[in-house]
Chain A
Amino acid sequence: MKLKAIIGGKIWTGTGKVINKGVILIDEGKIIAVGPDIKIPKNADLIKAEGKFVSPGFIDAHSHIGLVPEGLDWEYSDVNDFSGPLTPQLRAIDALDPYDIAFKDAISGGVTTVYTGPGSSNVIGGIGFILKTNGKIVKEEAALKMALGPKRERGVKSKEPYPTTRMGTVALLRGIFITTKKWLNGEIKGEEEKKSQYENVAKVLKGELMAKIHLSTSPDEIRAALSLIKEFGIRASIDHVFGGDLLADEIVSSGVPVIYGPPMLARSYSGFKYMHDKIPVILDKKGALVALMTDHPVVPQKHLRLLASVVVKNGLDIDKSLKMITINPARILGIDQQVGSLEIGKDADVVISSDHPLQITSAIEMVLINGEIVFEKSILQERG
Chain B
Amino acid sequence: MIIIGGKVFTPFKMVSHTSILVKDGKIADISDVNNFQKKGEEIIDASDKYIVPGFIDPHTHIGVFPLESENGDHATELSNPVTPQLNVIDGLDPHDSAFNDALKGGVTTIGILPGSYMSFGASVERISIVPGQGAIMKTNGELIERYAFLKIAVGEHPKRFLSENKLSPTTRMGIISSLRELFRRGKEYLVNSEGKYNPELEAVLPVLRGEKCLRVHVHTSRDILSVINLAREFNLKIVFDHATEAYAVKEQIGDIPIVYGPPVFSKRGTELKNLDIVNLGKMKGLMFSITTDHPTIPIQYLILLAGLSVSEGFSYEDALSLITIKAARVLGIDKRVGSLEIGKDADIVILDGEPFDPRTQVSYTIINGKILYKGE
Contact = CB atoms under 8 A, between A and B. Distances in A.
A382 B281 CA distance: 9
Given A74-B123, A74-B269, A270-B71, A360 B297 contact: no
A265 interface: yes
Interface in B283-310: 284, 294-299, 301, 304, 307-308, 310
A326 interface: no
Contacts of A269: 69, 121
Interface string A356-372: 00111111000000000
Contacts of B12: none
A377 B264 CA distance: 19
A298 B297 CA distance: 11
B270 interface: yes
Contacts of B316: 361
A306 B68 contact: no
B98 interface: yes
Interface string B248-281: 0000000000000000111111101110111001
B266 A72 contact: no
Interface in A306-321: 306, 309-310, 312-313, 318
Contacts of A72: 269-270, 273
Interface stretch (B51-59, B144-152, B335-343, B351-359): B351-359
Interface residues of B, number: 50
Given A72-B269, A268-B67, A270-B68, A360 B304 contact: yes
Contacts of B313: 381-384
A172 interface: no
Nearest to B282: A384
A299 interface: yes
B312 A384 contact: yes
A73 B123 CA distance: 9
Contact of A300 (B121, B265, B274, B310): B265
Contact of A70 (B117, B266, B277): B266
Residue among A101, A269, A363, A382 facing the most chain B CB atoms (10 A cut-off): A269
Given A71-B270, A77-B123, A266-B297, A381 B281 contact: yes
Interface of A: 70-74, 77, 101-102, 105, 108, 264-270, 272-273, 296-300, 302-303, 306, 309-310, 312-313, 318, 358-363, 381-384
27 contacts: A70-B266, A70-B273, A71-B274, A73-B124, A264-B301, A266-B296, A266-B297, A267-B67, A267-B295, A268-B65, A268-B67, A268-B119, A269-B121, A272-B68, A297-B266, A299-B120, A300-B267, A302-B277, A306-B308, A310-B304, A312-B358, A313-B301, A313-B304, A359-B358, A361-B307, A363-B312, A383-B313
